[in-house]
């Protein structure tokens, strides 16, 4: 039996991160916070958090195939951050809004068998591309608080 194929998502995240850094942009990571995520609770809004992951804002960033880990300061206090790659909603450049959104991955146990007893093949969807809105404003270093109605890039799905 062959080993399970590694998803493309962690590779895309690493590539987008490098692209942001190489172009002098500030990479921001948007997460859907679940039970496996270790993030500052006081910055979570509507079950989501956006984190500045620029080299100047984090220490010991490791973007693995399963987890993203780093330490960062929040209100002057160093915190260890751990987030499953599966919970990443988007990675984008703060200055331009360019980046990519991702659909949340369903838990592996939710794969259903069809009537013939074979595993159903999941349908892959294309990620959306973030397009900056006209009223986008730069965010401060650290976690970006969610503001209703403005200041964030708008999403446009490209198929």
State mean pLDDT over 105-115: 47
Say whether domain 9-148 belongs to CATH 2.40.110.10. no
> What is the arithmetic mean of pLDDT over 102-113?
59
Residue 148 is predicted with a pLDDT of 45
Average pLDDT (137-151) is 46
Contact 40, 94 (CB under 8 A): no
Query: Is the pLDDT assigned to residue 103 strictly greater than 60?
Result: yes
**Helix, strand, coil share (%) of the chain residues, nearest 5:** 15, 35, 50
Query: CB–CB of 84/71 below 8 Å?
Result: no
pLDDT above 90 (res 39): yes
**157, 90 contact by CB (below 8 A):** no
In tens, the pLDDT along 66-82 reads 999 999 999 999 999 99
| Digit-coded pLDDT (tens) for 6-38 | 899 999 999 999 999 999 999 999 999 998 999
């Amino acid at each position: 039996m062959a080993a399970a194929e590694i998803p493309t998502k962690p590779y895309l995240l690493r590539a987008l991160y490098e692209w942001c850094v190489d172009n002098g942009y500030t990479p921001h990571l948007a997460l859907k916070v679940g039970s496996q995520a270790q993030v500052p609770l006081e910055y979570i809004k509507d079950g989501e958090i956006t984190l500045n992951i620029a080299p100047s804002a984090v220490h010991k960033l490791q973007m693995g195939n399963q987890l993203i880990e780093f330490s960062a300061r929040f209100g002057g206090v160093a915190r260890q951050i751990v987030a499953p790659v599966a919970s990443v909603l988007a990675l984008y450049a703060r200055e331009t809004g360019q980046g990519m959104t991702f659909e949340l991955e369903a838990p592996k146990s939710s794969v259903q068998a069809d009537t013939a007893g074979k595993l159903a093949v999941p349908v892959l969807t294309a990620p959306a591309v973030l397009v900056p809105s006209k009223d986008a404003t730069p965010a401060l270093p650290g976690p970006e608080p969610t503001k209703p109605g403005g200041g964030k890039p708008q999403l446009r799905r490209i198929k």
